[in-house]
Amino acid sequence: MAQDERPPRDDQTEAAWRQLRMAPGVPQWLDVPLLVEPVAPPVDRRKLLLRAYTEDGRPLGLCAVYTNEWYPGCTAPNPFSHYFPVLWYVLDARHRRGIRERLRLQVLKAVAARTTSGYLQTVLLKFIVAPEYTVTGSFVEQLYNCPLRVFFERFFGLSRDDREPPRRPGDVRGRAIHAGYRRALAEFARTGDVARAARAYRAAVWQEWTRTIQSLLGVRPGRDGGAPKDVLGSFGAAGSILEQIAAGQEPEAAAVELYLERLFYSERRGLSGRADRVELPRQPGLPVRVAEVKTRSAFAERDPLTGETFPGGMQALAYRELLQSLGFEAIDAVVELVENERVTALPLEQHPIVQRLRLNLSRRDERLIDLIAQARNVFYCVASGLFTGYDRYRLDQATQDWRLRHVVGQFDLLSERPPCHVCPARMRQVCTQSRDREGRALEGLFRFAPAPLFAYWVWFHRQLKAEEHAEWEHLFHLVHTPPAALEREGITLGDLRLAEQQERRVTFVRPERRLDTRIREDDTVLVTPQWPDGLLGRVPRPGELFSVQGRVLRVAEHEIEIELHDRVPLAPAGEEPCYRVDHLTGFDMRAWELEGLADFFVASMEAAPARGREIHWRELPPLSQTILGLRPPERPRTTTPLPSWAGVGLNAVQRQALAAALGLEAGELLLVQGPPGTGKTALIAALVHALVARALFDPARVPERRPVLVLTNTHRAADEVVHKIVEKHPEVLPFLVRVGNPREGMERHVRDQTLLHRAGLAEAVPPETDEEAIAALLAASQRAQVIHDHAAVFVATLGSAATPELRGLTFDTVIVDEAAQATEPAFLQALRRLPLGYRGRLVLVGDPNQLPPVVTAARAPVFWDDLRRLGLRPEDSLRTSAFERLQRLYPESCIRLSEQYRMNGPICELVSRVFYDGVLRPADERVAERRLAHWLDDHGAQGARGLLAQSPPVLYLDTSDDPLGRDSGATLAADDEGRANEREADLIAALLAEFLAGIPPERHERVVAEIGVISPYRRQNTLIRQRLERAQPTLARVRVDTVDRFQGSEREVIVVSLVNSNAEGAIGALHAEWRRLNVAISRARSLLVLVGDRRTFLADPLDPAEEEARERFRQLFAVVDALARRGEARILSTRGLYQAGGQA
């Protein structure tokens, strides 16, 4: 695998340290990483004494940091220096939080100073604090616009109130022109053909207008009834923009590689981002050009002389610095301003701050790095919460000065006043510093919050921030760790060769070594070429401009297929065409989770009747009190009479739940627990139907208040709700909107309910002429507006609850499906859609005995006694859903569905006795008597052979005595997901191949679609897939997945590979979450196959956290034994099974 060719960073650090001492008293530029720990808790506000180490822990000695970048012998201190205060706040916070790990600094400048007593003291002058926490260029820009806004938005998580109607989307025109410009430029650079560039421009503008419903709903005819100016302008700009593109492309300019929206990341500057466009010259010697494209609507610095604004200037400067830190020497950064249908290039030399400081951009200027470092460090300190912690007094104090004077900084370079017009803190009236000083500012927002509300916010906020930190550390780890080590962790694949590239779909192969990895289908990855780049002079690392992001389509034994955002570069002649693939973590949900949490906090406080004093929790809205565990909800009114048409086809318990939901008053909450297969979605569909019918006959209905919103944790569940409504209550469909754009894999009848589709735009290709495009847009917009105005039911995911389609709308009833799978902050999205004061109804449907929310942070959150009032326990975390907590608090307010329609009698009994106190039962005899043989007969798939075909409903293949059955251990070091068990994989492959062998080949596909294999370990699943494919090519289509991804699905046959089998009795963290077992075994309709070592699972717990899981496994095997005694299960030792002869 290609190695990093730069000298080891620790050697650089030691050399720099020595070099300092060679020239005492002379400040020197170092730019090396360092780990530090304070010698004593930071008390002195003038000096910090630190112990310094290299990154691998070699001690370097003591060093100091003084205020104002002073050092003994210094004659010109900088009174506006931010370095000391930021470091002081960071160290103080770490001390208070008991963080013992050393702090990482990228030391930019230091001096070996001679003290009055004559000894040499190393003094750090400039540094990046915790560079692993990268800040994007746009955040750097935001910090220079208003530091306080960073506090409100990036720390607190405040966003605009989506209950307020949206403003007209005036910036779409700019964005459309921007998109058109980018696409046309790329096309012209590729082909040199103006006509093709013009088509690309039109297509991009069209897409921008039709991409989001916000744009579409904002298209209003002009005064004369014709097309609006914004639409006309964006299409009409093509002429001048194409002229500019053609004129700008001089012959030598064609010799550039264009990189659009590429991710880049610098751990030396703590910066990351995506510049709109980077032009890399093919010939050395020419500068790299970075272009940031902006529209005038963005707020920006105003030039004191000309009055001109400069949007994106600081961002471009940050990206310039970032690229330089990566090793690109000459950088030419520019902002391209889209204005008046033209694109104007604004050189950074004209930026107000550049002019005020008289910066010379043609050479490296320390002051420029200072500026960027200042914004980056202050952003880190504030946004990470280290500046204020959760001290409510400090939090309020921080809001008293928009320049955050405690962190000092040269913010006198900023505008006179903050750019309040775009700020949510001003709109929500929580900022006391806003320019117009209007409105009823919530003074003492933090201090006056009732203790339970504040504790609630703190507890969740801190965990979301920890998640955020874990995400950044993952990226840093990728860049910072040798590829071979990453490969061992299972998150990187190296030495891959490009086998095929069709447009953006690529296949990489590695014939000489198996792809033993945790990377799987649908993962987001970065693909990085592994030959030395000419300009960089070395092999690029992930995130260094050359990486292309993509989504994994398939992982086979020796090849991986990926769909990329852009084409990968091809190796120049003479270079080995090697690539590496790195796993990026999943979709970032924390931003909107933080927003939901902040919204709950602010909306609860806003609804309080008084101002200017501590609010008592009784003054909060009733629903807030209920959520905080302070006010039990009313007992469910299950006897509310149902109209004759409501609840048709539901069982008795479902009808009770429906009655209770319909009987809710404003501000009330209902919990419905739905164990596997109990018809949760059917109940939701019936409830939606009843609520819509009721609302249609309500003469007092407010147009902005709609009857019902269904929110789910996943797109799959949202589609399922729509599907069920289509199936059971098609009369609701004219009033139903599936929020969001049509997605790949969406069923047709679900896609038909998206607004874009209903407006006739989902599959529309861009028209051939501008006139046609404009006419089509207007017509579609009018259709969309009518549909939107009459919609009564919206179905969305929790993550899209703040989507433009829902802006300005509130709902009488919000139903949250899969509520036990959503983190509590995610669930709070539901409250954002209730009317002010939460005067709406909330129905949570879920099952806390199934999988909890997925989170990454492993560390248990800090707990204190006040949290017990909220119904929290010390072992709780973000994995504890609101449903689980509320059910624990108010068990009498929860209705449990108990009749299930999925599992046959024996499987149901297994699940019921282990997880539901034996109350779960098949809904009727037909379900109870379901058998695999019946299903095979019904589908013409007779002839199945082997163990599966002859098995009773539960088959347990016990590997306890099988000498080959031991697991691999956690060989992939990243976390517990790296465990595998080859014997189990082989057994499963043989079992299924044998089963399929007797079935007519034309039925294979149908049968295979009804088989699922589940294991909690990604690595095991990859192994099973590979073995299945090898055993029988059709078996490659068997769905093999983790438990987490199987939730919500069901199959006739489910095979569960338990994997863990070892002498220590280690079951690992994944099995310690006992709910995973429930989900795994409750997916089966007719046949459940368990493969594993019961001895390992019945061993004594190694960790107290495993106790409950061990108990459930004990119960599981006990019930299997009992079923076996009745002939409803079979237990078979795997010793010698499918060996040698290949038969059982």
Binding region for other proteins (CB under 8 A): 93, 96-97, 389-394, 400, 432, 436-441, 443-444, 448, 451, 454-455, 458-459, 462, 609-614, 862, 864, 866
Q: Please state the closest distance from residue 607 (CB atom) to other proteins, in A.
A: 12
Q: Please state the closest distance from residue 416 (CB atom) to other proteins, in A.
A: 14
Four-residue CA torsion sign, 547, 550, 555, 561: negative
Which residue intervals of 807-904 are DSSP H helices? 824-827, 882-889
Burial of 37 (C-beta count, 10 Å sphere; 0-12/13-18/19+) = middle
- Token pair 């709609």: residue: 706
Q: Please state the closest distance from residue 193 (CB atom) to other proteins, in A.
A: 51
Which is nearer to other proteins, 453 or 844 (by Cβ)? 453
Instruction: Please answer whether residues 395 and 448 qualify as being in contact, where contact means their C-beta atoms are separated by less than 8 angstroms.
Output: no
Q: Please state the closest distance from residue 86 (CB atom) to other proteins, in A.
A: 17
Q: Give Cα separations from 17 to 129, 273, 532 (angstroms).
A: 18, 31, 30
Q: Give Cα separations from 453 to 54, 136, 447, 619, 628 (angstroms).
A: 43, 32, 11, 11, 7
Q: Please state the closest distance from residue 420 (CB atom) to other proteins, in A.
A: 13
Q: Please state the closest distance from residue 436 (CB atom) to other proteins, in A.
A: 6
Q: CA end-to-end span of the chain, whole Å?
A: 43
Which is nearer to other proteins, 95 or 220 (by Cβ)? 95
| Nearest-angstrom CA–CA distance, 923 and 927 | 7
Angle at 685 between CA 679 and CA 690, to 5 degrees: 125
Q: Give Cα separations from 65 to 24, 48, 452, 849 (angstroms).
A: 16, 5, 40, 53
Instruction: Please answer whether residues 130 and 62 qualify as being in contact, where contact means their C-beta atoms are separated by less than 8 angstroms.
Output: no
Q: Please state the closest distance from residue 862 (CB atom) to other proteins, in A.
A: 6
Q: Please state the closest distance from residue 361 (CB atom) to other proteins, in A.
A: 33
Query: What are the residues whose beta carbons fall under 8 Å from the beta carbon of 987, sequence distance 6 or more?
Result: 957, 959, 1091, 1134, 1137, 1138
Which is nearer to other proteins, 29 or 390 (by Cβ)? 390
| Nearest-angstrom CA–CA distance, 582 and 418 | 41
Q: Please state the closest distance from residue 396 (CB atom) to other proteins, in A.
A: 8
Length of the chain: 1144
Residues 368-373: contacts with CB under 8 Å, at least 24 apart = 368/317, 368/321, 369/108, 369/126, 369/321, 370/126, 371/314, 371/317, 371/410, 371/413, 372/140, 372/269, 372/271, 372/317, 372/318, 372/321, 373/83, 373/108, 373/126, 373/127, 373/128, 373/269
Q: Please state the closest distance from residue 460 (CB atom) to other proteins, in A.
A: 11
* Six-digit token string for 647: 């609840």
Q: Please state the closest distance from residue 701 (CB atom) to other proteins, in A.
A: 30
Which is nearer to other proteins, 37 or 866 (by Cβ)? 866
DSSP assignment of 1080-1135 equals HHTTEEEEEEEEE-HHHHHSPPSSGGGHHHHHHHHHHHHHHHHHHHTTSEEEEE-T
Which is nearer to other proteins, 611 or 966 (by Cβ)? 611
Which is nearer to other proteins, 828 or 1120 (by Cβ)? 828
Q: Please state the closest distance from residue 92 (CB atom) to other proteins, in A.
A: 9
Four-residue CA torsion sign, 178, 181, 184, 189: negative
Instruction: Please answer whether residues 321 and 268 qualify as being in contact, where contact means their C-beta atoms are separated by less than 8 angstroms.
Output: no
Which residue intervals of 869-1000 are DSSP H helices? 882-889, 905-915, 925-928, 932-938, 946-950, 982-997
Which is nearer to other proteins, 96 or 505 (by Cβ)? 96
Q: Please state the closest distance from residue 48 (CB atom) to other proteins, in A.
A: 17
| Nearest-angstrom CA–CA distance, 822 and 597 | 13
- DSSP label at residue 836: G
Burial of 234 (C-beta count, 10 Å sphere; 0-12/13-18/19+) = buried
Which is nearer to other proteins, 458 or 1087 (by Cβ)? 458
Q: Please state the closest distance from residue 439 (CB atom) to other proteins, in A.
A: 7
Which is nearer to other proteins, 449 or 777 (by Cβ)? 449
Which is nearer to other proteins, 441 or 1013 (by Cβ)? 441
Instruction: Please answer whether residues 841 and 816 qualify as being in contact, where contact means their C-beta atoms are separated by less than 8 angstroms.
Output: no
Q: Please state the closest distance from residue 305 (CB atom) to other proteins, in A.
A: 19
Which is nearer to other proteins, 615 or 686 (by Cβ)? 615
